[in-house]
Amino acid sequence: MLTVRLMGRAELTPNMREAAKERFLAALRVEFDGLENAIETYTEFRRLCDKYRPQPVPSGERAPVERWEKAYALAKAAAFRPWPNLDRGAQFEIEFVPDHGRDA
């Protein structure tokens, strides 16, 4: 399961935050043709970033990083479309939580 927290921009109301998170996830779903694919790409993105930190990911392995970064930027833009000036300083914190109930 993918969970998202919106960080920054304290002036956003709880309803605005929830709407932004919903638009963010909807955009990821479209960009990756499903959240399962978004989770896979994000997991690979994190693995590569962690593996090479503090150096950049080598060009031969950058495809998942570039795909995630592009999708994140598009999703963030979609999330803040109603409030274009409020996206500065805001970020979405992504967390993947394995769904253990599926195997039961």
Would residue 104 count as lying in a domain? no
- Domain span at residue 63 reads 2-99
13 in a structural domain: yes
Count how many domains the chain has: 1
Question: pLDDT tens for residues 38-69?
Answer: 999 999 999 999 999 999 999 999 999 999 99
Q: Is residue 51 part of a domain?
A: yes
In a domain? residue 68: yes
> Is 49 part of any domain?
yes
Q: Tell me whether residue 95 is in a domain.
A: yes
Residue 12 domain-assigned (yes or no) = yes
Share above pLDDT 90 across residues of the chain, in percent, rounded to a whole number: 69
Distance CA 99, CA 1 (A): 6
Q: Tens digits of per-residue pLDDT, 72-90?
A: 999 999 999 999 888 888 8
